[in-house]
Structure 1
Amino acid sequence: MEHYYRELVSFLCARLGNRQAAEDVAHDAYLRVLERTASEQIEHPRAFLYRTALNLVVDRHRRHLVRQAEPLEVLDADGRFHSSELHQDLQLDQRLALMRKALAELSQPCRDSFLLRKLEGLSHPQIAERLGISRSLVEKHIVNAMKHCRLRMRQWDS
């Protein structure tokens, strides 16, 4: 599945007109496919990956339209944005602690690649340059980090 990554990013870049957005959608698509393949065998993984990515592009577009159409007052009046229940905050803190624990289990280059991408929003070439490694290795590190974190979070949730 990993060998489709660059092809998928190029495909999404043509549709979105933005490489950063294309890489974000590709990462999210890979995560969804990895979640699905953990529980069942996918007959046509490439087609499934592309369909998942296109669905994410459509969802992203819809969210963008909703944000443009709804005035801030409507969003502000929505109770979901004010529900600061202690229980939800506690659950989020616990999940963040588990995520930190999962990330700590990764090798330094793998963790750094993932964090530079997800927290600092650097592109793969920027990460490769900063860490002094190849772009393909950056891509592998990020995919491996996502797989590892997803697996560990699933194990700890059960």
Structure 2
Amino acid sequence: MSPPTHTAAVQNIYEEHHTWLQGWLKGKLHNACDAADVAHDTFVRILGGRHASQILEPRDYLATIARGLVIDRYRRHTIEQAYKEALAERPEPTVVSEEDRAIIIETLTAVDKALHGLGARARRIFMLSQFEGLTYQQIADQLQVSLTTVKKHMIRAFTECSLILASS
């Protein structure tokens, strides 16, 4: 008998483990709607892959993907909250269309993802430069590193952000 096709393997995993995954997520998220959304996104992720027929431990695999999606969801929620707070602090009321808001949140989420891919020092240097407004020399002095180190980390941070934004 030939191995199942990718789509057939995903369907089989879905039929055997979807209820379990949704229940497991409901226990983690304490919300049936969020659990259903993440379970759905988990299977979409698997469907977008190529090797579902090679998955040996479906529940472990599903849980790993779902954990990552839950983390992404929390990060996105945190970013949305920070964005709303930043808008509320503006002196003049700012009206942003839902489409623009979605684009802004997606962009902020992509930048956040890029920054989390950096090491702690590179991330700190980037934050000091872009959010605190410090010069490279001030950052070097504050962190007691060389100016060359600051420049190197800034180039890396900008490169990562550019790559993430270009692929969005």
Say whether the fold is shared (TM-score over 0.5).
Answer: no
Q: TM-score, normalised by structure 1?
A: 0.45
Q: TM-score, normalised by structure 2?
A: 0.42
Q: Which has the higher contact order (CA 8 A, sep 6+)?
A: 1
